[in-house]
């Protein structure tokens, strides 16, 4: 990291000056006009492109992103299409057919019997698009030893036989599957190419949290990573931190309020705020009530907040609870949300501007692989809120791209808080665009990312800087 890098003629914000930026030992060492190159450092012409703090994705699932690549994606298929692609599927490296993008409304209900009709030769596991449910066929259940396993998520029929439906059983599933976890190297590179230097992994279980932490320690992931799983005793590392504890208020099985408040209290006693998954009106009301019992801690947040009416928004603001939302889900599934929502919930779907107006700190994120990992697509989605059919979902909830971008520049431990800055002495976690910011934000596109730097290292675009 002793290497020096001089970026010439980059546009700095908010003043829009053209300056040179010297990066040394992982930090921004100097900003000014006509800086002299060091004896053997790299000099690159910025050509007036914007130099921004690197982008943060405040809610992703890194191991699931890696697994997504090796899966059969059925999100664009009908039930018949799902059936025939399953019948013809070939097994992956682990011997399984892994399917993602299943939607109960589009594809109908699934259980082991249905899957067996389509494929009873290979072990098959099908993930619901929400990530909350897996359906496994009979050969798969046998291979997992599900019949005799003790895991609450394994749904059973009256006779105690597994139905094939596994609810939020990822930790058990991963253990039962055995094998080596997928490398996160490809995911790290892909995020770097999008200009992302900071990520929060929102997977709740400790096994995944440990996996993500090891990927940082082994330098598979170049990003700064905040883990939200129930992990303890992670080795210290400058790019690794432990964030709020992810709690899931699942819509199919709401927890008891005392139980939820107890988990919040225990997290707070460990000095960890909580990040509560809430996608229904009831889940949000329960979460707010449980937080009142537990007492709030600075840094508490609500993930998704898919339905929030003005009074809930006011309560979030009054309690200083942050919201981490996912605008690209509207671009992917906005019509479904609209059609499936209760009429009274429709005005309150995936609010963003309304939460900001109420005084809530909000930051956008991807929820990849369940949402689009591209932050530039997220900026478009936040400002347009266009559904796949071209409907605008909640016109008054649109947020200017500059505002959504500011959320992506906020620190991992303060989503929606003040943006990180490009300033002398700050870490050189940066993204260099190929054009001025104003121009780039007119039509946000990942193609405008020219290079990405983390701790002064070029993690994307080295070839474009020479």
Applying CB under 5 A, the span of 118-126, 155-163, 306-314, 364-372 interacting with Zn ion comes to: 364-372
Applying CB under 5 A, the span of 81-89, 215-223, 265-273, 365-373 interacting with Zn ion comes to: 365-373
Q: How far is the CB of 328 from Zn ion (least distance, A)?
A: 12
Distance CA 24, CA 22 (A): 6
357 vs 235, 263, 306, 360, CA distance in Å?
40, 31, 17, 7
Residue nearest Zn ion by beta-carbon distance:
367
- Tokens representing 236 are 């210290």
Neighbouring C-beta atoms of residue 147, cutoff 10 Å = 12
Decide: is 132 part of the binding site for Zn ion (CB under 5 A). Answer: no
Applying CB under 5 A, the span of 200-208, 211-219, 414-422, 439-447 interacting with Zn ion comes to: 200-208
Nearest to Zn ion of 65, 286 (CB atom): 65
Judged by CB under 5 A, the number of residues near Zn ion is 2
Q: Where are the alpha helices (DSSP H) in 20-123?
A: 62-69, 79-87, 104-107, 112-118
Applying CB under 5 A, the span of 221-229, 261-269, 360-368, 449-457 interacting with Zn ion comes to: 360-368
Nearest to Zn ion of 64, 288 (CB atom): 64
Among 20, 57, 170, 367, binds Zn ion (CB under 5 A): 367
Check residue 423 and report its DSSP letter. -
Applying CB under 5 A, the span of 164-172, 359-367, 390-398, 453-461 interacting with Zn ion comes to: 359-367
Which is it for strands 430-433 and 362-364: parallel, antiparallel or unpaired? unpaired
Nearest to Zn ion of 202, 302 (CB atom): 202
Neighbouring C-beta atoms of residue 348, cutoff 10 Å = 22
Distance CA 31, CA 325 (A): 34
Is residue 208 within 8 A of residue 169, CB to CB? The reply is no
Q: How far is the CB of 324 from Zn ion (least distance, A)?
A: 9
272 vs 253, 266, 419, CA distance in Å?
24, 9, 22
Q: How far is the CB of 59 from Zn ion (least distance, A)?
A: 6
Among 5, 202, 312, 377, binds Zn ion (CB under 5 A): 202
Site for Zn ion, rule CB under 5 A = 202, 367
């Amino acid at each position: 990291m002793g290497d020096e890098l001089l970026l010439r003629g980059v546009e700095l914000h908010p003043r829009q000056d053209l300056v040179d930026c010297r990066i040394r030992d992982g930090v921004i060492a100097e900003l000014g006009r006509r800086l002299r190159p060091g004896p053997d450092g790299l000099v690159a012409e910025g050509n007036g492109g914007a130099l921004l703090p690197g982008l943060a994705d405040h809610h992703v699932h890194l191991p699931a992103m890696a697994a997504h690549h090796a899966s059969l994606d059925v999100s664009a298929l009908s039930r018949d299409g799902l059936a025939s692609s399953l019948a013809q599927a070939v097994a992956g490296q682990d011997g399984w057919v892994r399917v993602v993008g299943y939607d109960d409304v589009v594809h109908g209900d699934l259980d082991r019997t249905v899957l067996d009709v389509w494929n009873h030769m290979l072990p098959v596991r099908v993930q619901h698009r929400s990530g909350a449910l897996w359906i496994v066929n009979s050969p798969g259940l046998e291979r997992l030893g599900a019949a005799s396993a003790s895991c609450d998520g394994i749904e059973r029929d009256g006779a105690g036989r597994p139905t094939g439906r596994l609810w939020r059983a990822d930790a058990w599933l991963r253990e039962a599957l055995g094998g080596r976890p997928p490398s996160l190297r490809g995911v790290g590179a892909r995020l770097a190419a999008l200009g992302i230097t900071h990520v929060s992994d929102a997977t709740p279980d400790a096994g995944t949290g440990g996996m993500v932490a090891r990927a940082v320690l082994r330098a598979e992931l170049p990003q700064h990573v905040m883990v939200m799983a129930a992990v303890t005793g992670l080795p210290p590392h400058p790019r690794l931190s432990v964030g709020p504890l992810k709690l899931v208020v699942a819509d199919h099985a709401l927890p008891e309020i005392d139980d939820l408040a107890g988990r919040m209290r225990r997290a707070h006693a460990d000095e960890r705020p909580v990040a509560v998954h809430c996608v229904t009106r009831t889940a949000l009301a329960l979460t707010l009530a449980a937080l009142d019992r537990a007492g709030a801690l600075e840094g508490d947040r609500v993930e998704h907040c898919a339905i929030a009416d003005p009074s809930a928004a006011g309560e979030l603001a009054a309690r200083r609870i942050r919201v981490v939302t996912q605008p690209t889900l509207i671009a992917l599934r906005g019509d479904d949300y609209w059609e499936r929502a209760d009429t009274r919930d429709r005005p309150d779907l995936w609010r963003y501007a309304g939460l900001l107006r109420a005084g809530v700190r909000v930051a956008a994120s991807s929820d990849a692989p369940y949402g689009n990992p591209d932050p530039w697509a997220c900026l478009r989605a936040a400002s347009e809120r266009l559904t796949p059919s071209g409907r605008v979902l909640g016109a008054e909830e649109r947020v200017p791209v500059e505002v959504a971008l500011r959320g992506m520049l906020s620190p991992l431990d303060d989503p929606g808080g003040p943006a990180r800055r490009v300033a002398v002495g700050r870490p050189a976690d940066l993204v260099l665009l190929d054009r001025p910011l104003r121009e780039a934000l007119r039509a946000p596109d990942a193609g405008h990312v020219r290079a990405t730097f983390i701790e002064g290292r070029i993690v994307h675009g080295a070839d474009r800087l020479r």
